[in-house]
Structure 1
Amino acid sequence: MMSVSTLTETSGTAPVALPATPGRVSRAQLTSKPRRTLSLSLQHPGRQIVMRVLEQIGDGSLTIVENGTRIQARNRDSLSSAQERDAFTAEIRVLSPEFYERLFTAGTMGAAEAYMDGLWDSPDLTRVLRILLRNEMALRGIRSPLQALVGLAARFFHGLNRNTRHGSRRNIHQHYDLGNDFFETFLDPTMMYSSGLFESPGDSLEQASVNKLERICQELRLSSADHVVEIGTGWGGFAIHAARNYGCRVTTTTISEEQHRYARRRIQSAGLSDRIEVLQKDYRDLTGSYDKLVSIEMVEAVGERFLPTYFRQCANLLKPGGAMLLQAITMPEQRSRQYSRSVDFIRKHIFPGGYLPSLTQMQTAATSTSRLRLLNVTDFGLHYAETLRRWREQFHQNADTIRAYGFDQTFLRKWHYYFCYCEAAFEERATSVVHALWGQTDCALGTLSRA
């Protein structure tokens, strides 16, 4: 019988059994022994420091479970009795003392990698991560001399993921070329891998994706007279929606081989090949002149260094009077500097070469390289938290299918952590997502507003 660990979600999703050994699932792994449970020796040198720091938590409450023993970790002195009763709570189940070593030596990255390796678990991982985000200042007390070296090494290797033309293809391949079948397991039928827009409480994920596409098309006032260029095809969702519903022509580009093949097939099946052209080109190599430009959550793959290049190219592709709309995941201004100097779980394990710009960074890049004017900004970060919840539920429901594709326990736990990590960040406003509309100087669209 396969050894398993169980993830139970408080949202009502059924527990997901994950194979316990990293690597491709083989016959030998099907008979592998379970991971050794928490040893009786819990006095790792880092444990006392970790526990002492966790006791400084002032917003929320963590319960640490070790061998059935429950330890409450929070700063009781900072709470009134009413606050203590209503505290935002979560539970960490320590499955190996190595968890403390990872957290002590590598901080939050160590916690993420320890989770991937099955050293700890939680019935509600998103809630744990939300509490950690709320108490960032207290958690900085978990320091060891090794953390500086670990951070330095992470920054060095992240620096190798620069988004040159070759580097961008390599980085995109590592994430988006995992297989179209894999992404179909958790995306809705539109195949939009970006935040939806939930306009009504009963909206399905698919409807939220359609709402988002409609919002983009309407804000750009698309018409059959428009020729639109899209940077970042994805699986063809926007191009199909715009051409089918607005009659415009769309030229769209991706550097992912898997996405290029999939999008062309979808467009042909939809009977829209005469209105949509799918290129496999780097955005820097695009030529032509277009009425409108759309880029949906692609700017995050540009990288900090290449933001000016990206906005200069966007401006060069637009006709006089043209407009562009970006859907972009953004970093708040007050977090941006620290983020630029560090490497987080997402950039190391999910999106190599990724970078979340602040709105100010994008506006600076646009105005320093072009005559683009910022016309409108709409923030809808909490909608991304709901989108991620829906993806996570679908991911777990299709866990058996994902395993059948050859993905192992470490991969499934990594992606579970990814969904929860991002959901927590959007819930706590540590990141957000915006629709930002820019226009050439003589563009008649939009008025400046922020929602």
Structure 2
Amino acid sequence: MTLTDPTYQGSASGPLRVPPAPAAIDAEVWPGVARPPAGAKAALAGKAAGALFRSAARRLPLRVEYPNGSVLGTGDAGAPVMTMVRPDDFDVRIGDNGLIGLGESYMAGDWEASDLAGVLEVFASSVDTLIPVPLQKLRGLYLPRAPRQERNTEQNTRDNISRHYDLSNELFATFLDATMSYSSGLFPPDAGPLPDVGWEALAAAQQAKIDRLLDKAGVGEGTRLLEIGTGWGELALRAAARGATVYTVTLSSEQQALARQRIEQAGYSGQVTVALQDYRAVEGEYDAVVSVEMIEAVGYEYWPVYFQTIDRVLAPGGKVAIQAITMPHGRMLATRNAYTWVHKYIFPGGFLPSVRAIEGVTEQHTTLRVRERRGMGDHYAATLRLWEERFLQRAGEVRALGFDEVFQRMWLFYLCYSRAGFQSGYLDVQQIVLDRREAQL
């Protein structure tokens, strides 16, 4: 195995080829990746960041291998390996941009990993101790802030959503299953151990996830359903098959086009309206509201508006079922103003809530109350692993769509970064049911 031809081991379908380090990087397309920061200030920051990184790495259960032959970490022979290719560039990037630099350095090929999710899981498990506490308190002074144009105002949100979901329906089809569901599946016990569950179980797991949400929201014959966040239409299709009338909103023109096509082909055009509309502009009254992994794109300061909108349109006796990726409340508070690699390259304007935040926002700003929730983070880890394997298996198709090696490494980093969060327990995903029932005395 070489650094330009690494493989992932252990896939049921055989070795998976990792996108090679880019031979040349277009600086106009990838300005943050093409060249590391330069200048005296960057060099000084790089030296400090490199020293901090090496100090942390010595304590971590992995192996960090340097070109000079030195190895850091407490990991044994089976531990994840992070191979430094250009350690000086790595140091400068993380010194200039912190975790943004970590992702950009991988995109540039400054380091490699035969088990990328494994390396990132070690970092995620140690997130509270990687940086000394005194420096953590100063993070607001040296970490970048989110650009104002990425705040999720009604004027900005369409562009934020488009940067991710309008990349290409064909791209998403390369790694999603036939349901085109881009959220965690819910695997049954008979699918086998979640770390080993196979691709053939994913479509059924996605439908099971949707069916549970529809059941909890009481969706059936004659239900007036609002869906916030259409995706590519699978939930609307399954709700229509139950006899519901569905109004579903998205800000992605690509998603709207494919969802409408799928709905028409299934014969449900008369029951389902797919609107290119901000959730804040929805009018009318609905018996049920369902939203799958949409709150993450709303933005911290707009959570009250999101739930107030749901509260405003929900009919008396109605129910709400949402699926939300969550993080620990303390970490949420500490990072709510941070600008991260995920913001810059994947989800501009997004932010993950905590369960406590959802409960607090709904109690303070709406008549809705959380009545039930189910955590299923291990199911998301399994879902992401399957997406990752599929994406690598179909790398040729991704390249043929016009996505270069830098993009492919970016997307792989995103999938592995996400999976590491769930495998470490740093992230969870919850199905949450809300209604207006009075508390029982």
TM-score (norm 1): 0.84
Q: 117, 124, 129: which one pairs with 1:126? A: 117
8 Å Cα contact 1:21-1:408 kept in structure 2: no
- Give the CA deviation at 1:206: 0.8
Residues 149 and 114 of structure 1: CA distance in aligned 2, closer, same or farther (over 3 Å) = farther
Q: Distance in 2 between matches of 1:254 and 1:52?
A: 46
CA distance in 1, matches of 2:352, 2:178: 27
Partner of 1:64: 64
Task: State the Cα distance separating 1:65 from its structure 2 match.
Answer: 2.1
Share of identical aligned residues, percent? 35
Distance across 2 between alignment mates of 1:134 and 1:16? 24
Match of 1:427 among 423, 427, 431: 423
Structure 2 unaligned regions, length at least 5: 28-34, 36-45
**CA 343–11 in structure 1, closer or farther in 2 if over 3 Å, else same:** farther
1:166 partner amino acid: Q
Residue 291 of structure 1 aligns to a residue in which SS? strand
Whole-Å Cα distance in 2 between the matches of residues 227 and 120 of structure 1?
52
Q: 1:162 and 2:147 equivalent?
A: no
- Give, in angstroms, the shift of residue 150 of structure 1: 4.9
Q: Does 1:107 align with 2:104?
A: no
Partner of 2:229: 232
Are residues 156 and 436 of structure 1, via their aligned partners in 2, closer, same or farther at CA, if it must alter by over 3 Å?
closer
Q: Which runs of 4+ in 1 moved over 6 A?
A: none
Contact 1:205 1:387 in 2 (8 A): yes
Counterpart in 1 of 2:127? 136
Q: Is 1:55 the counterpart of 2:58 in the alignment? A: yes
In structure 2, the residue matched to 1:94 is 84
Displacement of 1:429 in angstroms is: 1.2
Contact preservation (8 Å) 1:329, 1:357: yes
For 1:14, which of 6, 13, 16 is the aligned residue?
16
Relative to structure 1, is the Cα distance of residues 290 and 147 closer, same or farther in structure 2, using a 3 angstrom cutoff? closer
Q: Deviations over 1:402-449 (max 9, x none)?
A: 111111111111111101101000111111110110112379xxx9xx
Q: Which residue of 1 aligns with 2:162?
A: 173
Are 1:220 and 1:292, in contact at CA under 8 Å, matched by a contact in 2?
Answer: yes
Q: Contact 1:23–1:407 at 8 Å: present in 2 too?
A: no
SS where residue 158 of structure 2 aligns? helix
CA distances 1:379-403 after superposition (whole Å, capped 9, x unpaired):
1111111110011011111111111
Q: State the 1:23 CA deviation.
A: 4.0
C-alpha separation between the residues in 2 aligned to 1:9 and 1:223? 44
1:287 matched to 2:277? The reply is: no
2:181 matches 1:185: no
**Distance of 1:125 and 1:275 partners within structure 2:** 44
1:89 positional shift: 1.8
Match of 1:29 in 2: none
Q: Secondary structure at 2:316's aligned position in 1?
A: strand
Letter in 1 for 2:23: A
Structure 1 residues 182 and 138, CA, compared in 2 at 3 Å: closer, same or farther? Answer: same
CA contact (8 A) 2:52 2:131 kept: no
User: Within 2, Cα distance between the matches of 1:17 and 1:302?
Assistant: 32
Q: Secondary structure at the match of 1:351?
A: coil
Question: Partner of 1:351 in structure 2?
Answer: 347
Deviation at 1:70, TM superposition (A): 4.7
Once residues 126 and 311 of structure 1 are traced to their aligned partners in structure 2, the CA distance between those partners, rounded to angstroms, is 34
**How big is each residue's C-alpha offset from its partner over 1:250-290, in whole Å with a ceiling of 9 and x where there is no partner?**
11111111111111111111111011111111111111111
Q: Residues 55-83 of structure 1: CA distance to partner in whole angstroms, max 9, x if unpaired? A: 133xx2x2222237251323xxxxxxxxx
Look up the match of 2:389.
393
Aligned length in residues = 409
**Aligned with 1:139: secondary structure?**
coil
Q: Distance in 1 between matches of 2:238 and 2:25?
A: 40
Q: Structure 1 residues 276, 70: CA separation in 2 closer, same or farther (over 3 Å shift)?
A: same
| Aligned residues of 1:22 and 1:408 also touching (Cα < 8 A) | no
Instruction: Quote how far apart the aligned CAs of 1:88 are.
Output: 7.2
Retained in 2: the 8 A contact 1:195–1:387? yes
Q: Counterparts of 2:52 and 2:213 in 1: how far apart (Å)? A: 49
Q: Which amino acid aligns with 2:377?
A: G
Q: Determine helix, strand or coil for the equivalent of 2:179.
A: coil
Cα deviation, residue 21, structure 1:
2.7
The corresponding residue for 2:219 is 222
Q: Secondary structure at the match of 1:367?
A: helix
Question: SS where residue 155 of structure 2 aligns?
Answer: helix
Question: Taking structure 1 as reference, are residues 389 and 156 closer, same or farther at Cα in structure 2, changes over 3 Å only?
Answer: closer
> 2:244 corresponds to which residue?
248
Q: What's the secondary structure of 1:326's corresponding residue?
A: strand
Q: Deviation digits for residues 308-339 of structure 1, max 9, x if unmatched? A: 11111101111100001010111112311112
Q: Could you tell me which of 394, 412, 419 is aligned with 1:416?
A: 412
Residues 330-370 of structure 1 show CA distances to partners (whole Å, capped at 9, x for unaligned) of: 11123111121322221221100001111121122212222
**Aligned partner letter, 1:192:** S
Describe how 1:184-203 pairs up with structure 2 within 5 A: 184-199=173-188, 200-201=191-192
232 and 148 in structure 1: CA distance in 2 versus 1, 3 angstrom threshold: closer
Give the partner amino acid of 2:233: G
Inter-CA distance 225–273: structure 2 relative to 1 (3 Å threshold) = same
Distance in 2 between the 1:122 and 1:343 partners? 25
